[in-house]
């Protein structure tokens, strides 16, 4: 029993601090994820404007994500994460104040979105690179399951709470014609407060690179180039990242714009419908996170084939959203996609963390996240414009069937099918 407690990741003080602070912060993040698209739609009534806001966040994130990964590899990921999350906290707090004071305008939304995108370009690779320095290599799978499982739990609870918080302002006074202003400001304020817990935990954490700084070799841009070359030389890793980039461009963007518009135009509960849809997806991913270990043992060396099969099924479910007119139907479909997504996400991230050398972790994770966080929202801008000439059902059908076709077509790739083997052990815990 004592040995089991010592082997638990919760026996690690640094992991407990990271887990606790991140849990509260992740819950707060869900309030902004619901409130920001709702704010844009209420200010403009234009899906294209929502796409532009998402692209405004994505442009600096895409431009600086790889540089952020190189900076993480040169410095301590804890220090980089501390600076990035501190910046995010200030920006979200500013957004809350502007909304509550009735001083919010779209040009300010664009400016704040630009700042958030820039800070997250450094936060995402730092957050992914810090875990291998906190726990032992054989604890990466359960540690990832706990962190990602809690993220999905926050996605399960947070959006519904956010939808309720925003909705309480629906019948109150409107600020400069902005419906739900009080609820929106409160939602942003909750997220800003939640950042304080994450910042506090990061101040107390100590990791390997805090005490053993890396020798700086070359410039930041040359570090980026060497990271890209290392990924390109790893055939299975290269194949997966290219696949993920294609999926993100052709599918991720339409979904980011499509779901808020679906809730606003076809569902019956307004902002609460968007919260419920996101909650259902988060709940499904939570279940998928819990099942990831079992699925990993079942597929063993066939991780790539599992991911492609999952994506082909998820595509069909997304296409079925075109037929959804009720919140319950949409929630059921998104919960199903969430289960599959949770299984695949933990398996892939744990495989990469075991496979990649520690000194390349920040750059590798930055390239992976670039495919989702950088490219997806860029295509959201195009999707918002497409909704001016095609219907919302056609957008969902096109995105879903395209995902299924891409996944099925990639099953003929030996490099993707071979994903599943570790190549380089991660660094020992600091």
* 8 A C-beta contact, residue 378 and residue 62: yes
3-state SS string for 79-136: HHHHHHHHHHHHHHHHHHHHHHHCCCCHHHHHHHHHHHHHHHHHHHHHHHHHHHHCCC
φ, ψ at 175 (rounded to 5°): -90, 115
The pTM of this model reads 0.68
CATH code of residue 325: 1.20.1250.20
* 8 A C-beta contact, residue 131 and residue 143: yes
Instruction: Residue 430: count other Cβ atoms within 10 Å of its Cβ.
Output: 16
Domain extent at residue 413:
11-417
Task: List, for residues 224-276, the tens digit of each pLDDT value.
Answer: 888 888 888 888 888 888 888 888 877 777 777 788 888 777 777 766 777 77
* 8 A C-beta contact, residue 255 and residue 400: no
φ, ψ at 178 (rounded to 5°): -85, 115
Where residue 430 falls among pLDDT bands split at 50, 70, 90? very low
Residue 430 placed within a domain: no
Residues in the chain, total: 430
Residue 244 placed within a domain: yes
User: How many domains does one find in the chain?
Assistant: 1
Rounded to whole angstroms, the Cα distance separating 319 from 118 reads 33
Among 89-98, 347-356, 378-387, 395-404, the minimum mean pLDDT is found in: 378-387
What residues are paired with 175 via a beta bridge?
A: 178
Residue 98 placed within a domain: yes
Residue 423 placed within a domain: no
Residue 425 placed within a domain: no
According to the model, what pLDDT value does residue 113 have?
92
Task: List, for residues 121-152, the tens digit of each pLDDT value.
Answer: 888 888 878 888 787 777 777 787 788 778 77
Surface-to-core class of residue 53, CB atoms within 10 Å of its CB (0-12 exposed, 13-18 middle, 19+ buried): buried
Chain position carrying tokens 């291998």: 132
């Amino acid at each position: 029993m004592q040995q089991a407690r010592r082997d638990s990741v919760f026996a690690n003080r640094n992991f407990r601090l990271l887990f606790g602070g991140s849990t509260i912060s992740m819950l707060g993040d869900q309030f902004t994820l619901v409130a920001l698209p709702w704010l844009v739609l209420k200010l403009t009534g234009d899906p294209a404007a929502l796409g532009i806001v998402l692209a405004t966040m994505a442009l600096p994130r895409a431009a600086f994500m790889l540089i952020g990964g190189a900076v993480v590899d040169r410095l301590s990921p804890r220090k980089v994460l501390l600076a990035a999350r501190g910046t995010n906290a200030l920006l979200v707090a500013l957004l809350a104040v502007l909304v509550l004071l009735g001083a919010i305008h779209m040009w300010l939304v664009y400016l704040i979105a630009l700042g958030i995108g820039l800070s997250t370009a450094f936060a995402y690779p730092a957050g992914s690179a810090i875990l291998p320095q906190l726990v032992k290599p054989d604890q990466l799978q359960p540690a990832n399951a706990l962190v990602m499982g809690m993220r999905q739990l926050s996605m399960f609870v947070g959006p519904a709470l956010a939808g309720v918080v925003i909705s309480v302002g629906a019948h109150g006074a409107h600020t400069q014609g902005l419906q739900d202003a009080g609820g929106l400001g409160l939602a942003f304020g909750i997220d800003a407060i939640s950042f304080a817990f994450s910042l506090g935990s990061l101040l107390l954490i100590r990791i390997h690179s805090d005490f053993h700084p890396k020798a700086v070799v070359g410039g930041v841009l040359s570090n980026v180039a060497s990271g890209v070359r290392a990924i390109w030389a790893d055939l299975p890793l290269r194949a997966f990242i290219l696949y993920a980039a294609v999926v993100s461009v052709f599918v991720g963007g339409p979904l980011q714009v499509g779901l808020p518009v679906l809730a606003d135009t076809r569902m019956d509960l307004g902002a609460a419908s968007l919260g419920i849809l996101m909650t259902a997806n988060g709940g499904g991913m939570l279940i998928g996170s819990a099942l990831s270990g079992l699925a990993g043992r079942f597929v063993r060396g066939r991780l790539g084939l599992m991911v492609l099969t999952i994506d082909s099924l998820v595509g069909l479910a997304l296409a079925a959203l075109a037929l959804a007119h009720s919140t319950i139907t949409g929630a059921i479909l998104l919960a199903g996609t969430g289960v599959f997504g949770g299984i695949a996400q933990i398996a892939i991230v744990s495989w990469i963390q075991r496979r990649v050398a520690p000194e390349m972790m920040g750059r590798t994770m930055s390239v992976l996240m670039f495919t989702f966080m950088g490219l997806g929202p860029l295509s959201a801008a195009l999707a918002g414009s497409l909704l001016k000439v095609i219907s919302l059902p056609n957008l969902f059908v096109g995105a879903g069937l395209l995902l299924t076709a891409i996944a099925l077509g990639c099953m003929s790739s030996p490099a993707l099918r071979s994903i599943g083997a570790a190549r380089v052990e991660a660094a020992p815990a600091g």
